């Protein structure tokens, strides 16, 4: 075997076995509320590209977060479990949000902006976006059938986990899961 072929072979083996490049095994971290998370087996599921709107009614997509691991939370102002968990999502974003990770909240269905602003003010939410999906152009194709639903999305925009129902997102268990997924 030529020296060049050996170099290619060993480089491929080294890259294939590199734990930094491999997806983390998140299953051991599913503790506490995180036990409700269902991890995607097999290939991650690409999220559909869909039109969202921000608080100024400007069009937005999740492309703005490309390269970050995301916790995408679908919620509504009228949903009691959604209202219960929104503060913990805000605290998680404050604690871990940055270049590698972001919490993205998306009010899906009919959620007038004044209602969102009122809830954010009452709960002192200051770190979360006010994105909306009034026509459910992202929620429906992503299989969101009830609220709240939170998707764990890899840096390539693919779903790697899903938690249905509310959770304490700023708990030590949730933070450990996010840190492992985002390489923090």
pTM of the model: 0.86
The residues spanned by each domain of the chain are 26-182
Instruction: Give me the pLDDT at residue 42, please.
Output: 87
What average pLDDT does this structure show over 156-161?
95
User: What pLDDT shows up at residue 91?
Assistant: 98
Report the CATH number of the 26-182 domain: 3.40.30.10
Distance, in Å, from the CA atom of 2 to the CA atom of 97, rounded to the nearest integer, reads: 48
Task: For residue range 14-54, list pLDDT tens digits in order.
Answer: 334 333 334 579 999 999 999 999 999 888 999 988 889 99
Res. 179: pLDDT tops 70 = yes
CA distance 84 to 71: 17
pLDDT averaged over the chain? 88
pLDDT at site 137: 94
pLDDT digits (tens, 9 = 90+) for 65-76: 999 999 999 999
104-135 pLDDT, tens digit per residue, is 999 999 999 999 999 999 999 999 999 999 99
pLDDT at 49: 83
């Amino acid at each position: 075997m030529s020296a060049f072929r050996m170099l290619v072979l060993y480089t491929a083996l080294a890259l294939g076995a590199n734990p930094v490049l491999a997806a983390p095994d998140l299953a051991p971290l599913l503790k506490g509320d995180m036990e409700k998370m269902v991890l995607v087996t097999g290939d991650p599921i690409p999220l559909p590209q869909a039109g969202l709107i921000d608080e100024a009614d400007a069009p937005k997509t999740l492309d703005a977060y490309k390269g970050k691991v995301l916790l995408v939370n679908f919620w509504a102002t009228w949903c009691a479990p959604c209202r219960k968990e929104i503060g913990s999502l805000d605290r998680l974003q404050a604690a871990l949000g940055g270049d590698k990770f972001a919490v993205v909240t998306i009010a899906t269905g009919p959620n007038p902006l004044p209602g969102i602003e009122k809830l954010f003010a009452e709960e002192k939410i200051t770190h979360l976006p006010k994105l909306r999906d009034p026509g459910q152009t992202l929620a429906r194709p992503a299989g969101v059938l009830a609220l709240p639903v939170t998707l764990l999305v890899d840096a390539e925009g693919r779903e790697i986990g899903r938690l249905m129902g509310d959770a304490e997102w700023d708990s030590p268990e949730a933070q450990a899961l996010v840190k492992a997924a985002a390489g923090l």
